[in-house]
Amino acid sequence: MSKALFDFIKKNKIEFIDLRFTDILGTNHHVTLPAHKFKPDMLKDGKPFDGSSIRGWKGIENSDTILVPDPAAHFIDPFREAPTLNIVCDVYNTDGSAYNRDPRGLARRAEQALRKSGVADTAYFGPELEFFVFDEISWEVGMGRSFYEIKSIEAAWDTSNPETNIGHRPGVKGGYFPVPPTDSLADLRAEICQVCTKAGMEVEVHHHEVATAGQCEIGTRLGQAVERADDSQKFKYIAKNVAYENGKILTFMPKPLAGDNGTGMHVHQSLVKKGRNVFQGNKYGGLSQTALHYIGGILKHARAINAFTNPTTNSYKRLIPGFEAPTILGFSAHNRSVSIRIPHTADASQRRCEVRFPDAAANPYLAFPAMLAAGLDGIKNKIDPGKPMDKNMYEISEREALRLPQVSATLNDALVALDKDRKFLTASGIFDDDLIDTYIDLKIDESKMFRSSPHPIEFDLYFGC
């Protein structure tokens, strides 16, 4: 494989090698080398760097860390003037052991744990990444003034602006599947799809989503945990840069708009053993008993999983009733109002479940393994998912909803749940306590910042006290 990589570099006249890795919070980092400095022994010995400069990683007293390029995970950067090859890396300690806080290494452990379990040899994940595209964004957080302002040619609130009002724009919750000119972003999405295809990703669909002001979705093929997490990071990089080059601003923030739908990341999942889909069966929704137990595990551990699948304070502004967000912990065939859906498929071999509460702010190297670990715990302990919820849960009252199991209500709730319910993550050796504790500490800091800052709505509610 190393020979193929260097032949590729030579054939495409690559001038720079961009080594990429992802930290515990999901941020992508890179360091760039001239191509002539990239030698075959680097695939074994790696490139040293200062791990203490990455948030949540090593202390300065033990900071040496090694980036080891994966020759199977590379693509030509579409945005650099000089021919540049981006290569995804795993992170190691100087003694050659895998660094335990490297999320990509954790995803590798998840794949190994699945094979060791004997349940299946392959887990497939198919995330649907949604996002918003705006024309301008500004904000300020200060002691005496805080605000944010969003401008969009599609904004329902901005119809009086003669500079942007083109007479065709989605209303609130009116953005699902309109044709141009109401869908002003069709060409932008098509360009993102074209660049993704050139970078080795298989695109399946793109369309406008429900919300006003530029909510979109692009669907790409499913894949195994490490491969699909790599592709999710690649997709985010490509989408943001295509938008940037077109004078737009693209965000995967779950709930940037008050009063309209937020953006999620529904994740389709299935397990395969020796080429056969083990989720295929004759139980409810055409699922096997194994699949139902997998669903049971995710439902049981959902509130802890939320810490990884919904990792921001903003995530929980999406997970509220009234905006098509799946807050009720249940499952159903076809029903999109519960947290786990069994999608219709004409081909029984494609049977799968779709977990609908995650959002695209998640670190995919942590989110996919967390769901897999919960599902495997469900299979191991034969966890009953309960009766399917075929009723439209969006139509029940909030008082009725309180009687039903729900996802975490805040990031802090999710962190408390993760701290208490972690054995399903550590038992299989996928996660360890050090990574979980570090992650919780980092996220507690974010939660404190949010809870200690006044919000404009509080002035509406309480200033006259």
Residue 361: Cβ-neighbour burial (10 angstroms; 0-12, 13-18, 19+): buried
Cβ proximity of 62 and 50 under 8 Å: no
Region 252-263 average pLDDT = 93
Told to judge if 154 belongs to the known catalytic residues of this protein, a careful annotator would answer no
Q: Is 36 a catalytic residue?
A: no
pLDDT for 336-363, tens place per residue?
778 999 998 888 889 999 999 999 999 9
pLDDT of amino acid 60 = 63
Residue 51 corresponds to which tokens in the numbers above?
Answer: 């791990």
As a whole number of angstroms, the distance between CA 89 and CA 105 comes to 10
Residue 278: what pLDDT?
97
β 146-151/331-333 pair status: unpaired
pLDDT of the residue at 181: 84
Residues in CB range of 187: below 8 A, 6 or more apart: none
- 135 and 192 housed in the same domain: yes
Cα–Cα distances (Å) from 180 to 157, 159, 200, 203, 217, in that order, read 19, 17, 28, 21, 16
Reported confidence tier of residue 401, pLDDT bands at 50, 70, 90? low
Cβ contact 54:29 at 8 Å: yes
298 and 396 housed in the same domain: yes
Residues making up the binding site: 128, 130, 204, 209, 217, 261-262, 266, 268-270, 318, 324, 336, 354, 356
The single residue of 336, 421, 432, 446 carrying the catalytic annotation is 336
Residues 28 and 130 in one domain: no
Active site residue 135: no
Confirm whether 15 is a catalytic residue: no
Is 400 designated active site? no
What is the model's pLDDT at position 368? 98
Q: Phi and psi at residue 149, in whole multiples of 5°?
A: -140, 130
Q: Tally the domains of the chain.
A: 2
Structural contact between residues 244 and 133, judged by C-beta atoms closer than 8 angstroms: no
What is d(CA 390, CA 433) in angstroms, rounded to the nearest whole number? 38
Most distant CA pair in the chain, distance: 72
Tokens representing 31 are: 């360091």
Same domain? 190 vs 92: no
* Position 199 pLDDT exceeds 80: yes
Any idea of the CA torsion for 396, 399, 400, 406, to the nearest 10 degrees? 100
pLDDT tens readout for residues 227-248:
999 999 999 999 999 999 999 9
> Is the backbone peptide bond immediately before 162 cis, with ω within 30 degrees of 0?
no
For residues 36-45, give the mean pLDDT: 94
CB 426 within 8 A of CB 419: no
Do 211 and 272 belong to one domain?
yes
Only one residue has tokens 């989408």, namely 239
Does residue 62 carry a pLDDT above 90? no
**Judgement on whether residues 60 and 171 belong to the same structural domain of the protein:** no
Domain assignment present for 251:
yes
pLDDT of residue 227: 96
Based on the residue annotation, tell me whether 217 is a catalytic residue of this protein: yes
Structural domain for 68, as ranges: 2-99
* CATH number of domain containing 428: 3.30.590.10
Same-domain pairing of 93 and 126:
no
Task: Decide if 300 is inside a domain.
Answer: yes
Q: Can you tell me the mean pLDDT for 157-163?
A: 74
Average pLDDT over residues 375-398: 83
Please tell me whether residues 227 and 336 are part of one structural domain: yes
| pLDDT given for residue 2 in this prediction | 80
The string of pLDDT tens digits covering residues 413-422 is: 999 999 999 9
Per-residue pLDDT, 398: 66
Q: Model pTM greater than 0.85?
A: yes
pLDDT tens digits, 97-110: 999 999 999 999 99
CATH of the domain at 14: 3.10.20.70
Gap between the Cα atoms of 415 and 189, Å rounded: 35
Phi-psi region of 26 (alpha: psi -120 to 50; beta: other; left: phi over 0): left
Q: Can 104 be counted among the known catalytic residues? A: no
Report the binding-site residues for ATP.
204, 268-270, 336
Q: How many Cβ atoms are within 10 Å of 26's Cβ, its own excluded? A: 22
Q: Across the chain, what does the average pLDDT equal?
A: 91
In a domain, 265, yes or no: yes
Q: Are residues 270 and 307 in the same domain?
A: yes
In terms of domains, do 306 and 253 share one?
yes
Contact 210, 175 (CB under 8 A): yes
- Say whether 45 is catalytic: no
336 catalytic? Reply is: yes
Known binding-site positions for Mg(2+):
128, 130, 209, 217, 266, 354
Q: Indicate whether 95 and 214 sit together in one domain.
A: no
The catalytically annotated residue of 154, 354, 359, 377 is: 354
Q: Which of 356, 359, 377, 422 is catalytic?
A: 356
Same domain, 92 and 153: no
444, part of any domain: yes
Residue 367 in tokens: 């989110």
> Mutual orientation of helices 302-309 and 433-451 as an angle, nearest 10°?
70
Note the helical H segments in 149-255.
186-198, 225-245
Phi and psi for 456 in degrees, rounded to 5?
A: -55, -35
Tell me the average pLDDT across 315-325: 82
Tokens linked to 370: 């967390």
